[in-house]
Amino acid sequence: MGFIEDISTATDIIRNADAVTLVSHIDADGITAEAIAAQAISRLGIPVTPVFVRQLEPLTMRHVPNDDTLKIFTDLGAGQQNLMEEAGLSSDNVLILDHHINQPAPGGTVYPQVNSQFYGQEYAKCSAAGVTYMVARKLDPANADLADLAVVGNVGDMMARETCGLVGIARWIADDGVGSGRVRITKGLNCYGLSTRPLHLCLANSDDPLLPGISGDPKAAIDLLIRLGIYEKPSDQRVWEELHADEAKLLASVVAEQMIANGESTERLFAELYFFPHETEKSPLRNASEYATMLNACGRWAKPKIGTAVCFGDRGQQYREAEHMLRHHRSIIRELCEYILDTGVADAGSIQWIHTGDSYPDTIVGIGAGMALSKLDTTKPIMVLCSVSDEPDLVKISMRTYEKVLRCGVDLQAALVTAAAEFNGAGGGHNIAAGAYIPKGCEDDFIRRVNELIAGQLTAGAPHR
Ligand code: C5P
Ligand code: C5P
Ligand code: C5P
Protein backbone atom coordinates (compact mmCIF):
# COMPACT_ATOMS: atom_id res chain seq x y z
CA MET A 1 0.00 0.00 0.00
CA GLY A 2 1.06 3.58 -0.57
CA PHE A 3 1.65 6.37 1.89
CA ILE A 4 -1.72 8.07 1.32
CA GLU A 5 -3.63 4.81 1.85
CA ASP A 6 -1.65 3.96 4.99
CA ILE A 7 -2.24 7.43 6.43
CA SER A 8 -5.97 7.10 5.71
CA THR A 9 -6.10 3.69 7.39
CA ALA A 10 -4.28 5.13 10.41
CA THR A 11 -6.68 8.05 10.76
CA ASP A 12 -9.69 5.69 10.49
CA ILE A 13 -8.22 3.51 13.24
CA ILE A 14 -7.69 6.54 15.49
CA ARG A 15 -11.15 8.02 14.88
CA ASN A 16 -12.76 4.70 15.85
CA ALA A 17 -10.85 4.40 19.13
CA ASP A 18 -12.54 4.98 22.51
CA ALA A 19 -9.24 5.45 24.32
CA VAL A 20 -5.58 5.43 23.29
CA THR A 21 -2.39 4.25 25.00
CA LEU A 22 0.56 6.00 23.35
CA VAL A 23 3.78 4.03 23.67
CA SER A 24 6.82 6.04 22.65
CA HIS A 25 10.59 6.20 22.71
CA ILE A 26 12.52 8.42 25.14
CA ASP A 27 14.49 10.49 22.64
CA ALA A 28 13.74 13.76 20.89
CA ASP A 29 11.95 12.03 18.01
CA GLY A 30 9.93 9.81 20.37
CA ILE A 31 8.96 12.71 22.64
CA THR A 32 7.90 14.97 19.76
CA ALA A 33 6.01 12.11 18.07
CA GLU A 34 4.20 11.50 21.34
CA ALA A 35 3.45 15.20 21.82
CA ILE A 36 2.03 15.49 18.28
CA ALA A 37 -0.10 12.34 18.61
CA ALA A 38 -1.31 13.18 22.11
CA GLN A 39 -2.44 16.66 21.11
CA ALA A 40 -4.04 15.60 17.83
CA ILE A 41 -5.92 12.74 19.48
CA SER A 42 -7.02 14.75 22.56
CA ARG A 43 -8.40 17.37 20.19
CA LEU A 44 -10.79 14.67 18.92
CA GLY A 45 -12.01 14.18 22.50
CA ILE A 46 -10.35 10.76 22.80
CA PRO A 47 -8.52 10.18 26.11
CA VAL A 48 -4.79 9.43 25.81
CA THR A 49 -2.46 7.71 28.28
CA PRO A 50 1.27 8.12 27.57
CA VAL A 51 3.84 5.38 28.23
CA PHE A 52 7.54 6.01 27.56
CA VAL A 53 10.06 3.18 27.25
CA ARG A 54 13.79 3.27 26.55
CA GLN A 55 13.20 0.49 24.00
CA LEU A 56 10.59 -2.23 23.47
CA GLU A 57 12.16 -5.32 24.98
CA PRO A 58 10.74 -8.20 27.03
CA LEU A 59 11.15 -6.30 30.32
CA THR A 60 9.64 -3.02 29.16
CA MET A 61 6.74 -4.80 27.39
CA ARG A 62 5.05 -5.11 30.78
CA HIS A 63 4.42 -1.36 30.66
CA VAL A 64 2.25 -1.93 27.58
CA PRO A 65 -1.23 -2.86 28.79
CA ASN A 66 -3.06 -5.65 26.98
CA ASP A 67 -6.43 -3.92 27.34
CA ASP A 68 -9.13 -2.55 25.06
CA THR A 69 -7.37 0.73 24.35
CA LEU A 70 -5.83 1.38 20.96
CA LYS A 71 -2.07 1.02 21.42
CA ILE A 72 -0.21 3.46 19.20
CA PHE A 73 3.54 2.85 19.03
CA THR A 74 5.57 5.86 17.93
CA ASP A 75 9.30 5.79 17.10
CA LEU A 76 9.48 2.11 18.00
CA GLY A 77 7.54 -1.05 17.30
CA ALA A 78 8.43 -1.76 13.67
CA GLY A 79 11.40 -3.83 14.83
CA GLN A 80 9.62 -5.44 17.80
CA GLN A 81 6.42 -6.87 16.36
CA ASN A 82 7.53 -10.28 17.67
CA LEU A 83 7.15 -8.95 21.22
CA MET A 84 3.69 -7.55 20.48
CA GLU A 85 2.64 -10.89 19.06
CA GLU A 86 4.11 -12.78 22.04
CA ALA A 87 2.24 -10.44 24.39
CA GLY A 88 -0.97 -11.37 22.56
CA LEU A 89 -1.70 -7.86 21.23
CA SER A 90 -4.39 -8.04 18.57
CA SER A 91 -3.85 -6.31 15.26
CA ASP A 92 -7.28 -4.73 15.82
CA ASN A 93 -5.99 -2.42 18.50
CA VAL A 94 -2.44 -1.66 17.49
CA LEU A 95 -1.11 1.09 15.22
CA ILE A 96 2.61 1.59 14.53
CA LEU A 97 3.92 5.02 13.41
CA ASP A 98 7.63 4.51 12.89
CA HIS A 99 10.73 4.88 10.74
CA HIS A 100 12.78 1.93 11.97
CA ILE A 101 13.46 -1.06 9.75
CA ASN A 102 10.45 -3.37 9.73
CA GLN A 103 10.84 -6.84 11.24
CA PRO A 104 7.55 -8.73 10.69
CA ALA A 105 6.04 -10.80 13.51
CA PRO A 106 7.13 -14.45 13.13
CA GLY A 107 3.60 -15.78 13.70
CA GLY A 108 2.26 -13.77 10.78
CA THR A 109 0.28 -11.12 12.67
CA VAL A 110 0.21 -8.04 10.48
CA TYR A 111 -0.02 -4.86 12.54
CA PRO A 112 -1.26 -1.70 10.81
CA GLN A 113 1.69 0.57 10.26
CA VAL A 114 2.79 3.82 8.68
CA ASN A 115 6.55 3.57 8.26
CA SER A 116 8.57 6.08 6.27
CA GLN A 117 10.84 3.25 5.09
CA PHE A 118 8.01 1.74 3.00
CA TYR A 119 7.42 4.36 0.32
CA GLY A 120 10.71 5.13 -1.42
CA GLN A 121 13.26 7.93 -1.38
CA GLU A 122 10.88 10.87 -0.97
CA TYR A 123 9.76 9.51 2.38
CA ALA A 124 12.83 7.65 3.65
CA LYS A 125 14.47 10.56 5.46
CA CYS A 126 11.48 11.26 7.66
CA SER A 127 11.46 10.44 11.35
CA ALA A 128 8.62 9.06 13.46
CA ALA A 129 7.57 12.57 14.52
CA GLY A 130 7.26 13.42 10.82
CA VAL A 131 5.15 10.33 10.13
CA THR A 132 2.97 11.12 13.16
CA TYR A 133 2.59 14.71 11.98
CA MET A 134 1.32 13.53 8.59
CA VAL A 135 -1.30 11.41 10.37
CA ALA A 136 -2.24 14.35 12.63
CA ARG A 137 -2.45 16.66 9.61
CA LYS A 138 -4.82 14.24 7.89
CA LEU A 139 -6.95 13.99 11.05
CA ASP A 140 -7.41 17.77 10.99
CA PRO A 141 -5.56 20.43 8.97
CA ALA A 142 -5.65 22.60 12.13
CA ASN A 143 -2.96 20.29 13.49
CA ALA A 144 -0.54 22.17 11.21
CA ASP A 145 0.29 24.15 14.37
CA LEU A 146 2.30 21.06 15.46
CA ALA A 147 4.72 21.24 12.52
CA ASP A 148 7.54 22.75 14.61
CA LEU A 149 7.53 19.62 16.80
CA ALA A 150 7.83 17.40 13.72
CA VAL A 151 10.80 19.46 12.55
CA VAL A 152 12.45 19.01 15.96
CA GLY A 153 11.92 15.23 15.75
CA ASN A 154 13.36 15.07 12.24
CA VAL A 155 16.40 17.18 13.05
CA GLY A 156 16.91 15.35 16.37
CA ASP A 157 17.11 12.05 14.52
CA MET A 158 19.71 13.51 12.14
CA MET A 159 17.44 13.53 9.09
CA ALA A 160 19.06 16.80 7.96
CA ARG A 161 22.68 15.87 8.65
CA GLU A 162 23.92 14.31 5.43
CA THR A 163 21.98 16.62 3.12
CA CYS A 164 22.59 19.81 5.17
CA GLY A 165 18.83 20.25 5.35
CA LEU A 166 15.62 18.28 5.40
CA VAL A 167 14.53 16.61 2.18
CA GLY A 168 11.40 14.99 0.76
CA ILE A 169 8.36 14.76 2.98
CA ALA A 170 10.32 16.08 6.00
CA ARG A 171 11.10 19.26 4.02
CA TRP A 172 7.42 19.51 3.05
CA ILE A 173 6.56 19.44 6.76
CA ALA A 174 9.01 22.27 7.48
CA ASP A 175 7.34 24.28 4.70
CA ASP A 176 3.96 23.48 6.19
CA GLY A 177 5.30 24.98 9.43
CA VAL A 178 6.29 28.12 7.53
CA GLY A 179 2.70 28.29 6.28
CA SER A 180 1.30 28.16 9.80
CA GLY A 181 3.89 30.64 11.09
CA ARG A 182 5.52 28.07 13.38
CA VAL A 183 8.79 27.66 11.46
CA ARG A 184 11.27 30.02 9.83
CA ILE A 185 13.63 28.43 7.32
CA THR A 186 16.92 30.13 6.65
CA LYS A 187 20.39 29.32 5.30
CA GLY A 188 23.35 29.70 7.58
CA LEU A 189 26.41 28.17 9.15
CA ASN A 190 26.18 24.41 9.59
CA CYS A 191 27.19 24.61 13.26
CA TYR A 192 25.49 23.55 16.47
CA GLY A 193 24.38 26.11 19.08
CA LEU A 194 23.41 29.03 16.82
CA SER A 195 20.89 30.37 19.34
CA THR A 196 22.66 29.82 22.65
CA ARG A 197 26.39 29.37 22.23
CA PRO A 198 28.75 32.35 22.14
CA LEU A 199 29.80 32.49 18.51
CA HIS A 200 33.49 31.71 19.14
CA LEU A 201 32.54 28.45 20.91
CA CYS A 202 30.00 27.63 18.24
CA LEU A 203 32.75 27.92 15.59
CA ALA A 204 35.51 26.31 17.66
CA ASN A 205 33.31 23.28 18.48
CA SER A 206 32.51 22.58 14.84
CA ASP A 207 34.02 19.33 13.58
CA ASP A 208 31.71 18.67 10.65
CA PRO A 209 32.61 20.81 8.76
CA LEU A 210 36.13 21.15 10.10
CA LEU A 211 37.04 24.85 10.05
CA PRO A 212 40.77 25.19 9.41
CA GLY A 213 42.53 27.22 12.10
CA ILE A 214 39.29 27.61 14.07
CA SER A 215 37.98 24.13 15.01
CA GLY A 216 39.30 23.21 18.44
CA ASP A 217 40.76 26.71 19.01
CA PRO A 218 38.34 29.16 20.72
CA LYS A 219 41.09 31.79 21.02
CA ALA A 220 41.60 31.80 17.23
CA ALA A 221 37.83 32.08 16.80
CA ILE A 222 37.75 35.13 19.12
CA ASP A 223 40.61 36.74 17.17
CA LEU A 224 38.77 36.22 13.91
CA LEU A 225 35.53 37.65 15.29
CA ILE A 226 37.33 40.73 16.63
CA ARG A 227 39.14 41.18 13.33
CA LEU A 228 35.78 41.13 11.53
CA GLY A 229 34.25 43.58 14.00
CA ILE A 230 31.68 41.03 15.14
CA TYR A 231 33.15 40.92 18.66
CA GLU A 232 34.40 44.12 20.26
CA LYS A 233 36.39 42.38 22.98
CA PRO A 234 37.43 38.80 23.85
CA SER A 235 34.76 38.49 26.54
CA ASP A 236 31.90 39.12 24.07
CA GLN A 237 29.20 36.47 24.02
CA ARG A 238 27.13 37.25 20.92
CA VAL A 239 25.39 34.29 19.33
CA TRP A 240 25.00 33.62 15.59
CA GLU A 241 21.30 34.37 15.71
CA GLU A 242 22.03 37.94 16.87
CA LEU A 243 24.19 38.79 13.86
CA HIS A 244 22.91 41.25 11.29
CA ALA A 245 22.59 39.80 7.80
CA ASP A 246 25.74 41.59 6.58
CA GLU A 247 27.77 40.31 9.56
CA ALA A 248 26.60 36.71 8.99
CA LYS A 249 27.49 37.06 5.31
CA LEU A 250 30.93 38.47 6.07
CA LEU A 251 31.71 35.72 8.59
CA ALA A 252 30.56 33.01 6.20
CA SER A 253 32.61 34.36 3.30
CA VAL A 254 35.78 34.70 5.41
CA VAL A 255 35.41 31.16 6.82
CA ALA A 256 34.72 29.86 3.30
CA GLU A 257 37.85 31.60 1.98
CA GLN A 258 39.90 30.02 4.76
CA MET A 259 38.54 26.60 3.86
CA ILE A 260 39.25 27.04 0.17
CA ALA A 261 42.78 28.28 0.95
CA ASN A 262 43.31 25.04 2.89
CA GLY A 263 42.00 22.93 0.04
CA GLU A 264 38.84 21.99 1.95
CA SER A 265 35.45 21.71 0.34
CA THR A 266 32.91 24.27 1.54
CA GLU A 267 30.08 21.90 0.66
CA ARG A 268 29.13 21.31 4.31
CA LEU A 269 29.77 24.84 5.55
CA PHE A 270 26.19 25.97 4.97
CA ALA A 271 22.96 24.27 5.90
CA GLU A 272 19.30 24.98 5.93
CA LEU A 273 18.32 25.97 9.48
CA TYR A 274 14.97 25.75 11.20
CA PHE A 275 14.07 28.48 13.68
CA PHE A 276 10.91 28.93 15.70
CA PRO A 277 9.94 32.61 15.72
CA HIS A 278 7.43 32.20 18.56
CA GLU A 279 10.10 30.98 21.00
CA THR A 280 12.27 33.28 23.11
CA GLU A 281 15.39 34.52 21.33
CA LYS A 282 18.68 32.97 22.47
CA SER A 283 16.84 30.09 24.18
CA PRO A 284 17.49 26.41 23.37
CA LEU A 285 13.93 26.19 22.01
CA ARG A 286 14.66 28.75 19.35
CA ASN A 287 16.06 26.32 16.78
CA ALA A 288 15.37 22.69 15.95
CA SER A 289 18.73 21.14 16.80
CA GLU A 290 19.05 22.75 20.22
CA TYR A 291 15.39 22.03 21.03
CA ALA A 292 16.07 18.38 20.18
CA THR A 293 19.07 18.26 22.52
CA MET A 294 16.88 19.57 25.34
CA LEU A 295 14.31 16.82 24.72
CA ASN A 296 17.05 14.19 24.56
CA ALA A 297 18.36 15.53 27.86
CA CYS A 298 14.95 14.96 29.46
CA GLY A 299 14.18 11.60 27.89
CA ARG A 300 17.57 9.95 28.00
CA TRP A 301 17.77 10.85 31.71
CA ALA A 302 14.45 9.22 32.51
CA LYS A 303 12.24 12.32 32.54
CA PRO A 304 10.57 12.21 29.11
CA LYS A 305 7.41 13.75 30.55
CA ILE A 306 9.31 16.96 31.33
CA GLY A 307 10.11 17.01 27.61
CA THR A 308 6.45 16.45 26.81
CA ALA A 309 5.49 19.38 29.04
CA VAL A 310 7.93 21.60 27.13
CA CYS A 311 6.44 20.42 23.81
CA PHE A 312 2.98 21.21 25.18
CA GLY A 313 4.15 24.76 25.87
CA ASP A 314 5.23 24.81 29.52
CA ARG A 315 7.71 27.61 29.98
CA GLY A 316 7.50 27.66 33.79
CA GLN A 317 8.65 25.15 36.35
CA GLN A 318 8.93 22.15 34.00
CA TYR A 319 10.87 24.21 31.49
CA ARG A 320 13.30 25.24 34.22
CA GLU A 321 13.76 21.59 35.07
CA ALA A 322 14.39 20.85 31.38
CA GLU A 323 17.08 23.55 31.37
CA HIS A 324 18.69 21.87 34.33
CA MET A 325 18.52 18.47 32.58
CA LEU A 326 20.11 20.03 29.48
CA ARG A 327 23.08 21.44 31.44
CA HIS A 328 23.62 18.06 33.07
CA HIS A 329 23.22 16.13 29.80
CA ARG A 330 25.72 18.34 27.99
CA SER A 331 28.36 18.00 30.64
CA ILE A 332 28.01 14.20 30.87
CA ILE A 333 28.03 13.76 27.07
CA ARG A 334 31.14 15.91 26.89
CA GLU A 335 32.74 13.77 29.60
CA LEU A 336 31.69 10.53 27.87
CA CYS A 337 33.12 11.74 24.59
CA GLU A 338 36.42 12.61 26.30
CA TYR A 339 36.40 9.25 28.07
CA ILE A 340 36.09 7.41 24.75
CA LEU A 341 38.83 9.48 23.14
CA ASP A 342 41.20 9.35 26.15
CA THR A 343 40.73 5.62 26.77
CA GLY A 344 40.92 4.87 23.08
CA VAL A 345 38.97 2.37 21.03
CA ALA A 346 40.12 -1.14 20.16
CA ASP A 347 40.46 -1.94 16.47
CA ALA A 348 38.77 -5.21 15.55
CA GLY A 349 39.57 -4.86 11.85
CA SER A 350 36.33 -3.67 10.31
CA ILE A 351 34.92 -1.98 13.40
CA GLN A 352 36.33 -0.11 16.40
CA TRP A 353 34.89 -0.67 19.86
CA ILE A 354 35.02 0.31 23.51
CA HIS A 355 33.31 -1.00 26.67
CA THR A 356 32.32 1.82 29.00
CA GLY A 357 31.24 -0.52 31.81
CA ASP A 358 28.80 1.06 34.25
CA SER A 359 30.25 4.58 34.01
CA TYR A 360 27.51 5.96 31.76
CA PRO A 361 23.82 5.10 31.34
CA ASP A 362 22.93 2.85 28.42
CA THR A 363 20.53 5.52 27.16
CA ILE A 364 23.31 7.97 26.26
CA VAL A 365 26.24 5.86 25.05
CA GLY A 366 24.93 5.97 21.47
CA ILE A 367 25.04 9.78 21.45
CA GLY A 368 28.59 9.71 22.86
CA ALA A 369 29.58 7.13 20.25
CA GLY A 370 28.27 9.33 17.45
CA MET A 371 30.08 12.40 18.71
CA ALA A 372 33.37 10.62 19.46
CA LEU A 373 33.35 8.96 16.03
CA SER A 374 33.75 12.34 14.34
CA LYS A 375 37.19 12.52 16.00
CA LEU A 376 38.17 8.88 15.30
CA ASP A 377 38.61 6.86 12.13
CA THR A 378 35.36 7.78 10.42
CA THR A 379 35.73 4.96 7.90
CA LYS A 380 35.14 2.29 10.58
CA PRO A 381 31.85 1.95 12.46
CA ILE A 382 32.09 2.40 16.21
CA MET A 383 30.54 0.03 18.74
CA VAL A 384 30.08 1.01 22.37
CA LEU A 385 29.20 -1.68 24.91
CA CYS A 386 27.97 -0.87 28.41
CA SER A 387 26.15 -2.39 31.34
CA VAL A 388 22.47 -1.80 31.95
CA SER A 389 21.87 -0.58 35.49
CA ASP A 390 18.54 -2.26 36.19
CA GLU A 391 19.31 -5.43 34.20
CA PRO A 392 22.68 -6.81 35.35
CA ASP A 393 22.44 -9.82 33.02
CA LEU A 394 22.31 -7.64 29.91
CA VAL A 395 24.83 -5.66 27.92
CA LYS A 396 23.72 -2.71 25.78
CA ILE A 397 25.27 -2.22 22.36
CA SER A 398 25.21 1.05 20.39
CA MET A 399 26.72 1.43 16.94
CA ARG A 400 27.16 4.47 14.72
CA THR A 401 28.69 5.10 11.30
CA TYR A 402 28.71 7.60 8.44
CA GLU A 403 26.79 7.70 5.18
CA LYS A 404 30.03 7.26 3.17
CA VAL A 405 30.51 3.90 4.93
CA LEU A 406 26.95 2.83 4.07
CA ARG A 407 27.85 3.46 0.46
CA CYS A 408 30.53 0.76 0.81
CA GLY A 409 27.86 -1.77 1.77
CA VAL A 410 27.73 -1.47 5.56
CA ASP A 411 24.38 -1.91 7.30
CA LEU A 412 24.59 -1.73 11.10
CA GLN A 413 20.97 -2.70 11.64
CA ALA A 414 21.36 -5.88 9.60
CA ALA A 415 24.62 -6.81 11.37
CA LEU A 416 23.23 -6.25 14.86
CA VAL A 417 19.92 -7.99 14.19
CA THR A 418 21.75 -11.08 12.87
CA ALA A 419 24.44 -11.18 15.56
CA ALA A 420 22.09 -10.39 18.46
CA ALA A 421 19.72 -13.19 17.40
CA GLU A 422 22.63 -15.67 17.40
CA PHE A 423 23.43 -14.72 21.00
CA ASN A 424 19.80 -14.70 22.21
CA GLY A 425 19.65 -10.93 22.24
CA ALA A 426 17.68 -8.46 20.15
CA GLY A 427 18.72 -5.55 17.99
CA GLY A 428 17.27 -2.98 15.63
CA GLY A 429 17.50 0.57 14.36
CA HIS A 430 18.81 1.98 11.11
CA ASN A 431 21.64 1.15 8.72
CA ILE A 432 23.57 4.17 10.07
CA ALA A 433 22.70 3.95 13.80
CA ALA A 434 21.67 0.74 15.50
CA GLY A 435 21.53 -0.84 18.92
CA ALA A 436 21.01 -4.15 20.67
CA TYR A 437 20.78 -5.88 24.01
CA ILE A 438 22.74 -9.11 24.49
CA PRO A 439 23.26 -11.42 27.49
CA LYS A 440 26.30 -10.61 29.61
CA GLY A 441 29.25 -12.96 29.10
CA CYS A 442 29.33 -13.20 25.32
CA GLU A 443 30.75 -9.73 24.61
CA ASP A 444 34.04 -10.88 23.02
CA ASP A 445 32.35 -13.39 20.74
CA PHE A 446 29.70 -10.84 19.88
CA ILE A 447 32.28 -8.20 18.88
CA ARG A 448 34.07 -10.82 16.73
CA ARG A 449 30.83 -11.83 15.08
CA VAL A 450 29.72 -8.27 14.31
CA ASN A 451 33.19 -7.50 12.96
CA GLU A 452 32.93 -10.56 10.72
CA LEU A 453 29.47 -9.57 9.49
CA ILE A 454 30.60 -6.01 8.70
CA ALA A 455 33.70 -7.34 6.93
CA GLY A 456 31.37 -9.55 4.87
CA GLN A 457 29.14 -6.58 4.02
CA LEU A 458 32.21 -4.64 2.85
CA THR A 459 33.33 -7.55 0.68
CA ALA A 460 29.88 -7.82 -0.85
CA GLY A 461 30.13 -4.10 -1.65
CA ALA A 462 27.75 -1.27 -2.19
CA PRO A 463 24.02 -2.00 -2.00
CA HIS A 464 22.03 -1.75 -5.23
CA ARG A 465 19.55 1.05 -4.69
O1 C5P B 1 15.70 5.10 17.91
P2 C5P B 1 16.16 6.16 17.11
O3 C5P B 1 15.89 6.15 15.68
O4 C5P B 1 15.41 7.33 17.66
O5 C5P B 1 17.67 6.53 17.32
C6 C5P B 1 18.08 7.78 17.24
C7 C5P B 1 19.56 7.79 17.26
O8 C5P B 1 20.05 7.30 16.03
C9 C5P B 1 20.05 9.20 17.42
O10 C5P B 1 21.18 9.20 18.27
C11 C5P B 1 20.45 9.61 16.03
O12 C5P B 1 21.60 10.39 16.10
C13 C5P B 1 20.76 8.31 15.34
N14 C5P B 1 20.34 8.31 13.93
C15 C5P B 1 21.23 8.75 12.98
N16 C5P B 1 20.87 8.75 11.66
C17 C5P B 1 19.66 8.28 11.27
C18 C5P B 1 18.75 7.84 12.22
C19 C5P B 1 19.12 7.87 13.56
O20 C5P B 1 22.35 9.13 13.32
N21 C5P B 1 19.36 8.28 9.97
O1 C5P C 1 29.18 21.33 23.39
P2 C5P C 1 28.65 20.41 24.40
O3 C5P C 1 29.72 19.52 24.91
O4 C5P C 1 27.88 21.09 25.48
O5 C5P C 1 27.63 19.48 23.61
C6 C5P C 1 27.10 18.41 24.20
C7 C5P C 1 25.64 18.29 23.84
O8 C5P C 1 25.29 19.04 22.71
C9 C5P C 1 25.25 16.87 23.55
O10 C5P C 1 24.09 16.59 24.23
C11 C5P C 1 25.00 16.79 22.10
O12 C5P C 1 23.88 15.99 21.82
C13 C5P C 1 24.75 18.22 21.70
N14 C5P C 1 25.40 18.49 20.43
C15 C5P C 1 24.78 18.14 19.28
N16 C5P C 1 25.39 18.36 18.07
C17 C5P C 1 26.60 18.91 18.03
C18 C5P C 1 27.26 19.28 19.20
C19 C5P C 1 26.63 19.05 20.39
O20 C5P C 1 23.66 17.62 19.34
N21 C5P C 1 27.16 19.10 16.83
O1 C5P D 1 20.35 3.24 21.79
P2 C5P D 1 20.90 3.79 20.52
O3 C5P D 1 20.75 5.28 20.45
O4 C5P D 1 22.27 3.33 20.21
O5 C5P D 1 19.99 3.17 19.39
C6 C5P D 1 20.29 3.31 18.02
C7 C5P D 1 19.11 2.84 17.22
O8 C5P D 1 18.88 1.44 17.44
C9 C5P D 1 17.84 3.52 17.66
O10 C5P D 1 17.10 3.72 16.49
C11 C5P D 1 17.15 2.50 18.55
O12 C5P D 1 15.75 2.65 18.52
C13 C5P D 1 17.58 1.19 17.91
N14 C5P D 1 17.62 0.06 18.86
C15 C5P D 1 16.81 -1.05 18.65
N16 C5P D 1 16.85 -2.12 19.50
C17 C5P D 1 17.67 -2.12 20.56
C18 C5P D 1 18.50 -1.00 20.81
C19 C5P D 1 18.45 0.10 19.93
O20 C5P D 1 16.04 -1.06 17.68
N21 C5P D 1 17.69 -3.18 21.35
Q: One digit per residue, pLDDT tens: the chain, 465 residues?
A: 899 999 999 999 999 999 999 999 999 999 999 999 999 999 999 999 999 999 998 888 999 999 999 999 999 999 999 999 999 999 999 999 999 999 999 999 999 999 999 999 999 999 999 999 999 999 999 999 999 999 999 999 999 999 999 999 999 999 999 999 999 999 999 999 999 999 999 999 998 888 999 999 999 999 999 999 999 999 999 999 999 999 999 999 999 999 999 999 999 999 999 999 999 999 999 999 999 999 999 999 999 999 999 999 999 999 999 999 999 999 999 999 999 999 999 999 999 999 999 999 999 999 999 999 989 999 999 999 999 988 999 999 999 999 999 999 999 999 999 999 999 999 999 999 999 999 999 999 999 999 999 999 999 987 654
Cβ(77) – ligand 3 distance below 6 Å: no
Residue type, 328: H
* CA 330 to ligand 2 center in whole angstroms: 6
Long-range contacts of 181-184 (CB under 8 A, 24+ apart): 181/277, 181/278, 182/144, 182/145, 182/147, 182/148, 182/276, 182/278, 183/147, 183/148, 183/151, 183/274, 183/275, 183/276, 184/274, 184/275, 184/276, 184/277
Which of 25, 52, 100, 103 maximizes ligand 3 atoms within 8 Å of its Cβ, making it the mutation to test the pocket?
100
Cβ(367) – ligand 2 distance below 6 Å: yes
Cβ(300) – ligand 2 distance below 6 Å: no
* CA 289 to ligand 2 center in whole angstroms: 9
Residues 295 and 32 sit within 8 Å (Cβ to Cβ): yes
* CA 398 to ligand 3 center in whole angstroms: 7
**CA–CA dist 447, 419 (Å, integer):** 9
**Main-chain dihedrals φ then ψ at residue 117, nearest 5 degrees:** -80, -5
**CA–CA dist 225, 247 (Å, integer):** 10
| Side-chain-side CA neighbours of residue 8 (13 Å) | 5
* CA 131 to ligand 3 center in whole angstroms: 18
**CA–CA dist 399, 435 (Å, integer):** 6
Taking the CA of 296 as reference, the closest ligand is 2
Q: What ipTM is given for this predicted complex?
A: 0.86
Residue type, 232: E
Least Cα distance to 291 among 301, 303, 302, 279 occurs for 279
